[in-house]
Chain A
Amino acid sequence: MSNFVELSIAKAINAGLRKCMQDNPKVLMFGEDVAQLGGVFRVTEGLHAEFGDKQIFNSPIAESGIIGTAIGLAMRGYRSVTEIQFDGFIFPAFDQITTQLAKMQNRSEGFTPMPVVVRVPYGGGIGAVEHHSESPEAYFAHTAGLRVVTPSNPNDAYWMIQQAILSDDPVMFFEPKRRYWQKGPVNLDEPPMDSYTASVLRQGTQVTIATYGPMTAVALQAAEIAASEGKSIEVIDLRSLSPIDFPTIIESVKKTGRLIVAHEASSSFSVSSEVSARITEDAFYHLEAPVIRVGGFDVPYPAAKLEEVFLPDADRLLEAVDRSLAY
């Protein structure tokens, strides 16, 4: 019998971190305000009391410094989990992430693995000020050498953070911040699957919606509404954006013939652009309609009073479903 507990996504990440820090004293957790405060979202709450300064500490407010020192610590044999306080604050670290963290292993021809996890609370929906609601995942999925994953539920959050920490590759770990408090069952004994496999969360026959992170709940909601209207939607949670599990998407498209790819990020040059292109290349004869992208608009993330217009909701997804079915 498996050991299930009910946890929020935030608590599940906390529990996964705790497990790794207990198992391996070389696992470090650092970032801005992560120690006594437990981070601005309290994801690391209680860890400082348990592990002390040796394993978890506050860093100066210097994102490039956080990643750059994590790289040096990796060279010394430590496995750092870093926290970037908000999505929009990752850019001072963009250089260290893309030119150093992503490339060190390649530069050293395999002599210098980079077991570094970069935790990033991302996405909108919390009524925040500017730079606190962004979805920068595509920048990193575009960069060779990084892995990019994002859980959508507590069980995945618990296991995927542990799999990220165990990886010898750098992992960008995007946390759906508006879902931090969403609760669900966590199986403490058995991982669901590896982090790089997509998960079919709802079976359907007419249209596939592939999505990830905070939009997964929206897709499931849309599928539920569609079902009440007699339409059968399959929902895939991609979980990993680098690599993307194309075989699972293709398998689904072979069945439904229709694909919608959804996320909060602006659609141009996005994860949905990539999925759309690849499915067109690899599953062209199985498509009954063009792949449709549903994402944020190509504008800076708006002020909070407009975010519900910006963010795709179930209606926007259902509108896309109707367009797809009309072909």
Chain B
Amino acid sequence: MVQLLSPAGDYAVPKEWATYGKYIDRLSEADFLKFYRDMARMRRFDKEAEALQRQGQLGLWIPAIGQEAAQIGSGYGVGHNDHIFPSYREHGVAITHGIDLMSILKMLRGVNHGGWNPEETRFHLYAIVLGSQVLHATGYAMGVKMDGMVGNGDLENDLAVISYFGDGATAEGDISESFLFAAINHSPIVFFCQNNQWAISSSVASQTKVPLYQRGSGFGVPGIRIDGNDILASYAVTAKHMDDAREGSGPFMIEALTYRIGAHTTSDDPTKYRDSEEVEYWKARDPLARFETFLRRQGIKQDFFDEVAEAGEKLSTEIREATFALKNPPIENMFKYVYSDKHPRIDEQLDWLRKYEASFGEDAHS
């Protein structure tokens, strides 16, 4: 397992991981601070969203607390042309690529099913059907290679694809098919599995006999396991293998061993299936605390942490206010995007609904 920052916050690069260490050498203090700021931002966002759900403002919340290092680190390891295909828990990766966090809350409030422009953001829509997005990522990567945008040594234009999924999704056939298609096409893609150890109530031990990072090897997709709570490992290993993919070395898998501190979603009750000792063990390996220790040892002063805490307060207020201000979508939205070209059935039903609604006068849905 690749680990560059120990749970105690000690930074060391073992000889065998020297190639990853070089990626850390290139980082400046400003990069480190950005990493921390975004991990803290992700956690604060998560807590606020959970509170909003408890108050009935969101239909559901999908917590990612404990996975900040896996997401912020790998998110920053993705290059500025690369495309990202998330599952539905990648709020941190979204933060690293400038996604408006309200787009995520809109979806979980039920205003829409996503609706941001994936081509512009390079961060594709959340995928609820497990593993479905990994095939899309694989197809996208096949297209990138057909376009000749791999292996030219042209950092401005070459690109690779990364797809996120969880330990639970690895059981889906779509993941295996993705490995196969990516391997035979030698596609520029990194499969990033966040093993948070629980697929709702199923432990990872009940879902695989072989460590997940080895899952791709029979298909021709080599893999590596990293300490997913170590942001430096997460960053360096992702950056290195995205570079490799961009340079034409084919698909690769990263398993980030982490832990889902919270519930699967706000509808879940993890006390029914796991011990509090296990949760406490992992809380003691908190990725933020670990990186904070590292930063303090680097000489980062309290002022910085105060500033981050203050930014968190501000974010919370902003998110809260923006959520309360969200308007319900117009009824047209249900019909508007079903087809690109005209479809008479859709037009007929919208016409009918408009007339029906109008019959209620002022009580009509807008």
Contact = CB atoms under 8 A, between A and B. Distances in A.
Interface residues of B, number: 43
A100 B129 contact: yes
Given A75-B136, A99-B129, A69 B181 contact: yes
Given A73-B140, A75-B139, A100-B132, A65 B178 contact: yes
Interface in B73-127: 112-119, 124-125
Contact of B132 (A99, A145, A147): A99
Interface in A188-247: 196, 242-244, 246
B365 interface: no
A64 interface: yes
Nearest to B134: A68
A321 to B, nearest CB: 29
Interface string A127-140: 00000000000000
Given A100-B132, A106-B338, A145-B338, A111 B119 contact: yes
A76 B132 contact: no
Main secondary structure of the interface of B (DSSP, over half): helix
A68 B132 CA distance: 7
Interface stretch (B1-9, B57-65, B233-241, B339-347): B339-347
Contacts of B138: 65, 68-69, 72
A112 to B, nearest CB: 6
Most buried by B among A78, A105, A109: A109
Contact of A243 (B174, B180, B345): B345
A69 B341 contact: no
Interface string A5-20: 0000000000000000
A168 interface: yes
Contacts of A323: none
A107 B142 contact: no
A35 interface: no
B340 A96 contact: no
A168 B341 contact: yes
Contacts of B72: none
A74 B125 CA distance: 14
Contacts of A95: 129, 132, 174
A3 interface: no
B292 interface: no
Interface string A68-107: 1111111111100000000000001001100110011111
Contacts of A74: 139
A113 interface: yes
A168 B338 CA distance: 11
B184 interface: yes
Interface string A311-326: 0000000000000000
Interface stretch (B20-28, B143-151, B257-265, B270-278): B143-151
A300 interface: no
Contact of A108 (B117, B140, B181, B344): B117
Given A107-B114, A110-B336, A168-B341, A77 B139 contact: no
A212 B146 CA distance: 38
Contact of B135 (A69, A76, A103, A111): A69
A62 B180 contact: yes
A109 B107 CA distance: 12
B144 A76 contact: yes
Nearest to A28: B146
B334 to A, nearest CB: 9
Given A144-B338, A169-B340, 4 more contacts: A68-B177, A72-B141, A103-B113, A243-B344
5 contacts: A65-B181, A99-B132, A112-B119, A147-B339, A243-B344
Interface of B: 112-119, 124-125, 129, 132, 134-144, 146-147, 173-174, 177-178, 180-181, 184, 333, 336-341, 343-346
